[in-house]
């Protein structure tokens, strides 16, 4: 028998490769579909202002992760305004960091990226505008989740009552029925969006995306009805021992030391407080389940649901 020609070998190889690809392709497509299924519509807000670098860094990180994000945050720094609300008004002196001129309208957007929006009012008003007025321009329905922050400075314990970052997250859940996470970071100061991004800001954004993606991957409902997550990052970046995202560990915690019954985990019947988690050496992040109506701790049953949803990234204190 004469040897087959090169073209015959090529045709045979092509046939084998085609069969192999027909076998592999479905699993590849399923993987891609799974990734696509986890991509979410997100409204991003804060209380430090729409032009503060933490919220812009998180916006970029969430977008890079494949999510569709609409930012809606106060025109100016509104830290410490809790759950206050007010009808937006004309921007008298201009937005923070000269991000919009004096006399600008009560609400507005970035000329080159209309997903970046300001509201000249409080954080709660901003998140409501984001969900009800801005998001419909980009989403076919309500956002899947609201992320607030990362705040400049921690929001631990009873501080949640006056935090605008927490106020926006709790309002999203309690008033709008949308699951929400409030992120806060110990390191940093008010910084404009248009300077070199500090390393702590990048770390907090990456960690926020990690937790958000884990929650989204757990399936709907993402959180128990009427709850929110209060997440606090420890000191991070230059001058600290926490300089890479891999250094950090998430720990389920409680907001108040006076909380009653909590879920049992890590060999204890009582969750550690947020402050004790963040103050522990070793880059620990506190993750508390809050009641959106009171802002204080949710029930043990609700904590248990979140424990199961986030178990793949949760750790115990040493």
Given 72, 109, 184, 286, the catalytic residue = 184
Burial of 239 (0-12, 13-18, 19+ CB in 10 A): exposed
Cα dihedral 108, 209, 38, 225 sign: negative
Distances (CA, A) of 255 to 166, 181, 222, 272: 12, 14, 20, 9
Let me know if 184 is a catalytic residue: yes
Q: How far apart are CA 25 and CA 148, in angstroms?
A: 39
Q: Determine phi and psi for 162, rounding to 5 degrees.
A: -105, -5
Q: How far apart are CA 181 and CA 218, in angstroms?
A: 15
Find all residues with CB under 8 Å of 30, minimum gap 6, and list them: none
Query: Which residues are 3's β-sheet partners?
Result: none
**Active site (catalytic) residues:** 184
């Amino acid at each position: 028998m004469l040897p087959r020609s090169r073209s015959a070998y090529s045709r045979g190889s092509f046939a084998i490769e085609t069969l192999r690809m027909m076998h592999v392709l479905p699993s590849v497509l399923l993987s891609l579909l799974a990734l696509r299924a986890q991509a979410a519509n997100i409204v991003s807000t804060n209380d430090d202002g729409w032009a503060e670098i933490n919220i812009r860094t998180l916006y970029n990180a969430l977008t890079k992760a494949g999510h569709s994000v609409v930012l809606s945050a106060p025109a100016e720094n509104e830290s410490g305004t809790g759950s206050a609300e007010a009808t937006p008004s004309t921007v008298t002196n201009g937005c923070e960091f000269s991000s919009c001129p004096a006399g600008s309208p009560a609400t507005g957007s970035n000329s080159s990226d209309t997903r970046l929006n300001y509201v000249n009012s409080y954080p709660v008003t901003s998140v409501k505008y984001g969900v009800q007025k801005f998001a419909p321009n980009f989403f076919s329905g309500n956002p899947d989740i609201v992320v607030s922050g990362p705040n400049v400075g921690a929001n631990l314990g009873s501080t949640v009552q006056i935090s605008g970052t927490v106020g926006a997250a709790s309002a999203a859940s309690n008033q709008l029925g949308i699951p929400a996470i409030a992120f806060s970071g110990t390191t940093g100061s008010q910084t404009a969006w248009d300077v070199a991004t500090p390393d702590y800001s990048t770390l907090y954004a990456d960690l926020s995306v990690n937790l958000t993606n884990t929650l989204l991957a757990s399936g709907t409902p993402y959180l128990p009805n009427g709850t929110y997550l209060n997440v606090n990052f420890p000191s991070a970046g230059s001058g600290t021992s926490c300089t890479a995202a891999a250094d950090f560990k998430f720990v389920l915690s409680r907001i108040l030391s006076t909380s009653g019954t909590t879920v049992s985990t890590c060999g204890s019947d009582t969750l550690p407080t947020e402050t004790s988690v963040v103050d522990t050496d070793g880059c620990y992040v506190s993750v508390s389940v809050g009641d959106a109506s009171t802002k204080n701790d949710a029930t043990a049953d609700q904590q248990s649901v979140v424990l199961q949803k986030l178990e793949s990234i949760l750790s115990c204190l040493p």
